[in-house]
Structure 1
Amino acid sequence: MRVSVDTDRCCSSGQCVAAVPEVFDQDEDEGLVLLLDAEPPVQRQASVRLAAGICPGRAITIHEE
């Protein structure tokens, strides 16, 4: 799995950070998503899929490899 984010689509809800803080964070100035781990380990992949699914801006894309 490879993850990418689109900060132009991010609405700063923080749902991704709440779901997987090891993979996502928020910019302190604007609250936009920051990707901490573009290739999360297997044990976090289900949570990353959940974060992508609940993102109101659809700013998270998962690339299955």
Structure 2
Amino acid sequence: MKVIVDQDKCVGSGQCVLAAADVFDQRDEDGIVVLLNPTPPAELAADVRDAAAMCPALAITVEE
């Protein structure tokens, strides 16, 4: 699994952090997504997929 984020699309809702805090974080100054782990382990796959699905700006792409 490979995770890609588009910071230009991100609106800072934080849903990704709530779904997968080990993979996503937010910048303090504006809440924009920060990708902590672009190749998360298999046990986090479901959480990452949930984060991508919940993103209101569709800023997260998951490649299997």
TM-score, length of structure 1 as denominator length: 0.96
Shift of 1:24: 0.1
What is the match of residue 19 of structure 1? 19
CA distance in 1, matches of 2:54, 2:15: 7
What is the match of residue 61 of structure 2? 61
CA distance in 2, matches of 1:53, 1:47: 10
Instruction: Point out 4+ residue stretches in structure 1 off by more than 6 angstroms.
Output: none
Structure 1, unpaired ranges of 5+: none
% identical equivalent positions? 52
Structure 2, unpaired ranges of 5+: none
Shift of 1:43: 0.3
Q: RMSD of the TM alignment (CA)?
A: 0.4
> Is residue 6 of structure 1 aligned with residue 6 of structure 2?
yes
Partner of 1:43, secondary structure, is: helix
What is the match of residue 47 of structure 1? 47
Shift of 1:6: 0.2
Shift of 1:63: 1.0
CA distance in 2, matches of 1:56, 1:13: 8
What count of residue pairs does the alignment treat as equivalent? 64
